[in-house]
Amino acid sequence: MRKKQHSNPWEDSGTDSQVNGIQEVFNKPTYKNERVHFDPVLSRDPHEDNQSHQYDHEAFLGKEEATTFDQLTPEESKERLGKIVDRIDGDKDGYVTTDELKSWINRVQKRYIYENVAKVWTDYDLNKDNKISWDEYKKATYGYYLADMFAHEVEGPEPDWVKTEREQFADFRDTNKDGKMDKEEIRHWILPQDYDHAQAEARHLVYESDLNKDQLLTKEEILENWNMFVGSQATNYGEDLTKNHDEL
């Protein structure tokens, strides 16, 4: 079978080294401190390579679907993963490229973003004016009891943590500076656009699963490294044992 033509997925990454003008395409594409998550799109757990793959599972599947896989047997998880791989391989040539994997992760992210924008709107837009003010954000995030507590301390100084949150709201969440967040600002808050999360995750998954280092993944390579892409009862149980041991 002839392999598809593909562009180098490590181009223009800003992290690759150059030796005598030849790009070292097999350098690890991303570092841990670059692959950060932005709650609530991905796992609340910090992403650590070679430890829990919860970040990868949620990036590849979405939170709800990742939870569903955690209830399956390893055999069921691998079977379902195989069907997903068939969908990712858009041109049906038997290989998954970084671009195809990125497109899949983008779809997962967009679905999750739309679902979360709707949820945030329900929880935060208290007066139903299609905007979220700082007061609404504060009440929905910290509860009415905090607002009541501050109401009795009007004369006192604003606590430092409240000041920090208010400044974060004004400086980074209210990007058009109208005093409120709209739906586009909510989308940016849920998944900031200044970093290509889908590209970074796609490159990471390819790098970790590409056994022959041809920058393409076969279904066999993905299934060989299946627990990086999806979870199961076994992986979930193992993580629980690890957590319980650490707590002892």
Report yes or no on 18 lying in a domain.
Answer: no
Q: In which domain, by residue range, is 218 found?
A: 38-108+195-247
Would you say residue 32 lies in a domain?
A: no
Is residue 25 included in any domain, yes or no? no
Mean pLDDT, rounded, of the chain = 75
CATH code of residue 49: 1.10.238.10
pLDDT digits (tens, 9 = 90+) for 202-214: 999 999 999 999 9
114 assigned to some structural domain: no
Q: At what angle do helices 54-61 and 98-124 cross, to 10 degrees?
A: 90
As a whole number of angstroms, the distance between CA 238 and CA 111 comes to 29
What global pTM score does this model have? 0.62
Residues in contact with 197: Cβ distance below 8 Å, sequence separation at least 6, in sequence order: 37, 38, 41, 42, 59, 105, 109, 191
**5 within some domain:** no
What is the pLDDT at residue 75? 96
Whether the pLDDT of residue 182 is over 60: the answer is: yes
Q: How confident is the model at residue 148 (pLDDT cuts 50, 70, 90)?
A: low
Look at residues 190, 206, 237 and tell me which one is the last residue of a structural domain: 190
For the domain that residue 150 is a member of, what is the CATH number? Answer: 1.10.238
Better pLDDT: 173 or 156: 173
- Domains: count for the chain: 2
Distance CA 33, CA 145 (A): 36
Strand partners, 217: 96
pLDDT band at 147 (very low <50, low <70, confident <90, very high): low
pLDDT band at 112 (very low <50, low <70, confident <90, very high): confident
Q: Which of 104, 136, 114 is nearest to 191 (CA)?
A: 114
- Residue 98: which pLDDT band, with cuts at 50, 70 and 90? very high
